[in-house]
Structure 1
Amino acid sequence: MITGASRGLGAAVAAALAPTHTLVLAGRPSSRLDAVAERHGASTLTVDLADADAIPAAVESVDELDVLVHNAGVAFPARVAESTVEEWRTTMEVNVIGAVALTLALLPALRAVGGHVVFVNSGSGINASPGLASYSGSKFALRSFADSLRNDEPALRVTSVHPGRIATEMQEGLVAYEGGTYDPSRFLSPETVARVIADAVHSPPDGHIHEVIVRPRGHS
């Protein structure tokens, strides 16, 4: 199961895992999500991460799950003084509470097969990024949840992936906020990060990759 698969990194992850996995793409219904599903012979599942109370019923039919990739997320470019409580609330609801709710609802299905949970985090989950106050806060919290899940569920594999900046629509918005000119060649491609995620998923079962950090070449 992959969240946020309608475009960008999520769509690239779907492409990377389609040859080896039967995919379920979870998210709000959209023509873009349907197109990705059709391309890879995947099914879709209506899940709204902003509505945590509805998540258990949305996934109750899933009884076994090998891999859960948490990719969906939102970002509101803003420094602390520019940010609003509503932006913080929305960011935390989607990036953290939604991910927690989905994981808890799917724990029995993951336990049934000794599954693997992959959290697409960010460099902002290690070092707070200027201009991304609420986003950075949510990614630190998501990293902590992943660490707790790994500690408390030893039968599962739990991996946090911390990419640097990726050439996506979200990145275009951030560059515009910074007053720069968007040049995708400066950033990681979604396909590169998807390959890193797929490599973690395909690692031998006796290995447990806790954390992966990947940056654009030439960047620290």
Structure 2
Amino acid sequence: MTTHVITGAGSGIGAAVAARLHARGDDLVLLARDAGRAKEFAARYPGARTLVADLSDPDRISWALSHQELPDRLDSLLHIAGVVDLGPVADLRPVTWHQQLNTNLVAPAELTRLLLPQLRVSQGHVVFVNSGAGLRASAEWSAYAASKHGLKALADSLRAEEHDNGVRVTSVYPGRTASPMQAKVHSQEGKEYDPARWIDPESVATALITAIDLPKDAEINDLTVRPGR
């Protein structure tokens, strides 16, 4: 059975991906930030397994996972979780930088490191859900964009390092997607939020699943998804 570890399965793109893979019978291992969230995932996706680790505290991920049962083999590791907090550089304090860099960059690097042995066994696939902000930075997006630019560098380096081990690496760059995160962004921007204007998470899920379903003789390195209207 195909096995996926997924972060960010609680809402938005992550929830859409988890629901699609669960519906087709794949084996899901869902990372939850705490035991309460893990219980919610287990109820929402019957048969799925859960792991508990707080991505905002990457220094403790190794310790947390050492006390839990990891899959013996892993077909894909899907990094979908992320946080955003906007503000001008002049106003951003270190806590805001650390929060976004830890969750969006350091935690994916650490989780990948810990699960690489299982990915190598199955010649699996690592997917990083990045952002348009990972390719260009706008005013008041400095901390988030820095975390996502770093995530691109992580993916590119990992791809070069693991090519001979048969591990594929894909970065997905969605444009603005209708999700709770997007609602928060609009609130911080002082704009009215109309989800109909933005990409449906199901559309990004389709793109991501296309990448992991590609036969092993090919690899999608970078995949950009933009609003069609």
Matched, 1:157 2:168: yes
Q: 1:30 to 1:171 in 2, by over 3 A?
A: farther
Is residue 166 from structure 1 mapped to residue 158 from structure 2 by the alignment? Answer: no
Q: CA deviation at 1:33?
A: 5.0
Give the CA RMSD over aligned residues.
1.5
Distance in 2, matches of 1:120 and 1:195, equals 13
Partner of 1:123: 132
Which deviates further from its counterpart, 168-177 or 148-157?
168-177
Deviations 1:76-104 (A, max 9, x none): 11122232221111111111111111000
In 2: Cα distance, 1:195 partner to 1:125 partner: 20
In the other structure, the counterpart of 1:213 is: 224
SS at match of 2:54: coil
Which of 49, 58, 67 aligns to 2:64? It is: 58
Aligned AA (2:54): D
Q: Compute the TM-score of the two structures, normalised by the length of structure 1.
A: 0.93
Instruction: Tell me which residue corresponds to 1:7.
Output: 11
Task: Please give the alpha-carbon distance, in whole angstroms, between the structure 2 residues aligned to 1:197 and 1:101.
Answer: 22
Q: Does 1:37 align with 2:48?
A: no
Aligned partner of residue 50 in structure 2, secondary structure: strand
- Give 1:94's match in structure 2, choosing from 80, 96, 103: 103
Deviation at 1:29, TM superposition (A): 2.4
Q: In structure 1, how many angstroms separate the alpha carbons of the residues matched to 2:197 and 2:138?
A: 17
| Contact kept? 2:131, 2:172, Cα under 8 Å | yes
The normalised TM-score by structure 2 is 0.90
Q: Does 1:192 align with 2:203?
A: yes
Q: Is the 8 A contact 1:2 1:69 kept in 2?
A: yes
Counterpart code for 2:58: A
Distance, in Å, in 1 between the alignment partners of 2:56 and 2:17 is 22
The Cα offsets for residues 130-176 of structure 1, whole Å up to 9 and x where unpaired, read as: 32210000000000000000000012000000000011111111111
- Residue identity over aligned pairs, in percent, reads 44
Unmatched 5+ stretches in structure 2: none
Query: Of 130, 151, 154, which aligns to 1:145?
Result: 154
Q: 2:51 aligns to what SS in structure 1?
A: strand
> 3-state DSSP class of the match of 2:106?
helix
CA drift of 1:66 comes to 0.7
Report SS of the residue matched to 1:145.
helix
CA distance in 2, matches of 1:20, 1:147: 31
Provide closer, same or farther for how the CA distance between residues 30 and 10 of structure 1 changes in structure 2, counting only shifts above 3 A: farther
Amino acid paired to 1:2: I
Identify the residue that residue 33 of structure 2 maps to in structure 1.
28
Asked whether the 8 Å contact 1:163–1:193 carries over to 2, the reply is yes
Amino acid at match of 1:49: L
User: How far 1:20 moved relative to its partner?
Assistant: 4.4
Unmatched runs of 5 consecutive residues or more in structure 1: none
